[in-house]
Every structure is written in structure tokens, then in C-alpha cells.
């Protein structure tokens, strides 16, 4: 079937310029992950995370939120670690499932380019997961600890 309107690819130089123009204005209140509270200025105003910092904060929030557990987040937000840990899989299968749920969770955001380079360190019933997240802002290494579920 012929197309009604012509299509064309954006030249690479223009695509890079568009990425830089579109994403830097992303803003969010900055969180203090050690306390779970919003960071505040001395005058009591919330500190804003902008651009790459807002994206990095989104990544950490997504990796620490259990999918379907919080009404504030939609069904596409968060990871499904509790189900994996409860299933008592052998480590290689658990690691594969953790890779899958993290990748699915982060690839929902259009700023995420790829997720990979997973490393796992098990301590008792907890696991430290390190992965590389490539976004429109560059490449970051993220480390998260998931504790066993009783």
C-alpha cells in the first residue's frame, strides 16, 4: 500500500542536536535515598534535579520500587524482585530473571538507550546488582542491593 506522506531519516547531526534540546529541561524533586525524603534548601524549598541528574534519580527510584506495590506508580514502573526472590530459583535463573525485570523496567523510558553489563554479588539471601545504563545523557554504572523476602 503506498504511503500518503513521504518519510525520511533525520541526519545524525540533527538527531544529536534534538536530543540535547529535548531532554535537559527534565526536572524532578531531588530525593535523599538514605532517608527517603525530598532534599530541601535551607529556606525549606525542594532541591530540583535537572536533566541527567533527574534521569539518574528516575533510574534509582525505578530500580528500588516493586512493580504493582505502590499506587502512585503505574503498572509499567518498577521491578519484580520480590517474586523472583520468593521463587527460590537457582542463582543462574534468579540472575537471568533479575536481568530481565531490570532491563524491562528501564527500557520503558525513551531516554534509556540500553541496559547491560550485569554483575551479581550474593551475600546470604541478598544480592548486589551492578549494571551499566546507557541513556541520551551518557553511560552510568548503577548498583542496587535487593534483600531476600521473608
139 vs 23, 112, 142, CA distance in Å? 15, 10, 10
Tens digit of each residue's pLDDT, the chain (150 residues): 555 656 656 565 555 555 555 555 677 778 777 787 788 888 888 888 888 888 999 999 999 999 988 888 888 899 999 999 899 899 999 999 999 999 999 999 999 999 999 999 999 889 999 999 999 999 999 999 998 764
Burial 78-113 (b: 16+ CB within 10 A, else e): bbbbbebbeeeeeeeebbebbbebbbebbeeeebbe
Query: pTM value?
Result: 0.77
Domains in the chain with CATH codes: 12-146 (3.10.450.40)
Amino acid at each position: 500500500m503506498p504511503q500518503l506522506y513521504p518519510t525520511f531519516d533525520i541526519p545524525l547531526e540533527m538527531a544529536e542536536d534534538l536530543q540535547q534540546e529535548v531532554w535537559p529541561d527534565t526536572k524532578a524533586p531531588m530525593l535523599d535515598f538514605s532517608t527517603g525524603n525530598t532534599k530541601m534548601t535551607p529556606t525549606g524549598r525542594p532541591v530540583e534535579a535537572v536533566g541527567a541528574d533527574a534521569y539518574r534519580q528516575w533510574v534509582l527510584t525505578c530500580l528500588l520500587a516493586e512493580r504493582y506495590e505502590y499506587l502512585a506508580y503505574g503498572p509499567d514502573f518498577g521491578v519484580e524482585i520480590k517474586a523472583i526472590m520468593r521463587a527460590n530459583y537457582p542463582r543462574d535463573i534468579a540472575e537471568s530473571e533479575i536481568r530481565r525485570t531490570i532491563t524491562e523496567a528501564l527500557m520503558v523510558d525513551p531516554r534509556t538507550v540500553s541496559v547491560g553489563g550485569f554483575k551479581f554479588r550474593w551475600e546470604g539471601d541478598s544480592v548486589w546488582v551492578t549494571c551499566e545504563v546507557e541513556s541520551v545523557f551518557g553511560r552510568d554504572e548503577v548498583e542496587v542491593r535487593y534483600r531476600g523476602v521473608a
